Amino acid sequence: MALRVVQWATGGVGVAAIRGVLEHPELELAGCWVHSAAKAGRDAGEIAGTGPLGITATSSVDEILALQADAVIYTPLMGDSDEVAALLRSGKNVVTPVGWLYPSERSGAPLRAAALEGNATLHGTGIAPGGISEKFPLMLSAMSTGVTFVRAEEYSDLRTYEAPDVLRHVMGFGETPDKALTGPMQKLLDAGFIQAVRMCVDQLGFAADPKVRASQEIAVATAPIDSPMGPIEPGQVAARKFGWEALVDGEPVVRVTVNWLMGEENLDPAWSFGPDGQRYEMEVRGHPDFTVSVKGFQSEVGGQGPEYGVVGTAAHCVNSVPAVCAAAPGIATYLDLPLISGKAAPDKSRGVGADG
């Protein structure tokens, strides 16, 4: 029997998740919640561009809570703990890229209680945070002993990110430096990335200071820069860097950084991705030291196809559903789940009933 999955929200990640569910042999789409009244009543497959699926999207939370389903892939722009608690109490496992990667006992207590009440499980995942920032550095660290430092870093050109309202009003691009530096982005990012750093600290066993040090930097345009939100004019924010560090005796032992640039030209101060270009990069220092660079999740400016980091985020959620449904009730982090992998494409699969 396939696991019945509800998709909650149909932005870029949600649309990719619907497509991912259709490609997963152990899952079937059971429902779809949408925020927009214009999407309510439409076929979920029409919204996702897959063709009709016979699943009508709804904007009613009560309809989703009453639906018989095993899991919800919860992908709004920002998470709502009351919504998640209600889904858990209704008996639905929740997999999400918008938080709860590694919550503290205190912060996770209300959702853990809701999960136990509904005999369900909550799992936070994603890509960064949610994969590159903690899961994969920890996995790679198994190939080194005497670890002294772990780094995870993103280098992305946001001229491919077709979400102008988010870029300006949430991420602060095109704003004045003062407005960007005091805007909501630092706080929004802190919630996930601090948990990522703490997961690494705890699992590696560093005697780090309890407080994670956060920082941010900006660069402004020196000439007009084309972007998905229109031209960024001289003096407006055109690049942002956010960092989080855990310290032992004042020295960093875990560092996570994101570098978001609207291209590499006409920036003050001058920033670049370096000779390796857009990528995710993970470094472990120990015996031995090594660095791993991952390409393919950042789309090229002017290229065709989706933003593959969005697709990767959705895939990580989709592929986690069976393990989360099988997990003990409560909050399950990566440290509580078995190895999660993708599944073979239908035309490459052994199929049901094959020998092996």
Instruction: Kindly give, in sequence order, each residue whose CB lies less than 8 Å from that of residue 81, ignoring residues fewer than 6 positions away.
Output: 110, 111
Judged by average pLDDT, the poorest of 137-151, 205-219, 303-317 is 303-317
pLDDT score at 301: 84
Residue intervals in the chain for CATH 3.40.50.720 = 3-127+311-348
pLDDT score at 349: 85
Protein fold of 3-127+311-348? Rossmann fold (3.40.50)
The answer to whether the bond into 137 is cis (omega within 30° of 0) is no
Pairing of strands 3-8, 27-33: parallel
Question: What is the rounded average pLDDT for all residues in the chain?
Answer: 95
Tokens for 108, please give them: 């996770």
For residue 269, pLDDT beyond 70: yes
The sheet carrying 213-221 orders its strands as 267-268, 213-221, 237-248, 251-261, 145-157, 279-287, 290-294
For residue 48, pLDDT beyond 90: yes
CA dist 132 and 126 (Å) reads 9
DSSP string across 131-186: TTTTHHHHHHGGG-EEEEEEEEEEEEEGGG---HHIIIIIT-TTS-HHHHHTSSHH
Q: Residue 36 in contact with residue 59, Cβ under 8 Å? A: yes
For residue 84, pLDDT beyond 70: yes
Residue intervals in the chain for CATH 3.30.360 = 135-296
Say if residue 128 is exposed, middle or buried (CB neighbours under 10 Å; 0-12, 13-18, 19+).
buried
Q: pLDDT digits over 87-118, tens only?
A: 999 999 999 999 999 999 999 999 999 999 99
Q: pLDDT digits over 9-45, tens only?
A: 999 999 999 999 999 999 999 999 999 999 999 999 9
pLDDT score at 163: 85
Instruction: Kindly give, in sequence order, each residue whose CB lies less than 8 Å from that of residue 175, ignoring residues fewer than 6 positions away.
Output: 168, 183, 236, 237
Instruction: Kindly give, in sequence order, each residue whose CB lies less than 8 Å from that of residue 106, ignoring residues fewer than 6 positions away.
Output: none
pLDDT score at 199: 98
What's the average model confidence in pLDDT over 246-270? 97
What percent of the chain is predicted at pLDDT more than 70? 98
Tokens 């259709």 correspond to 22
Instruction: Kindly give, in sequence order, each residue whose CB lies less than 8 Å from that of residue 53, ignoring residues fewer than 6 positions away.
Output: 22, 29, 43, 44, 45
pLDDT score at 302: 75
What's the average model confidence in pLDDT over 267-271? 96
Number of neighbouring beta carbons within 10 Å of residue 91: 16
237's enclosing H/E stretch is: strand 237-248
Judged by average pLDDT, the poorest of 185-194, 284-293, 344-353 is 344-353
What's the average model confidence in pLDDT over 306-318? 93
Banded model confidence at residue 351, pLDDT cuts 50, 70, 90:
low
Task: Identify the residue with better confidence: 307 or 310.
Answer: 310
CA dist 247 and 282 (Å) reads 18
| CATH architecture for residues 135-296 | 2-Layer Sandwich (3.30)
Banded model confidence at residue 350, pLDDT cuts 50, 70, 90:
confident
pLDDT score at 300: 85
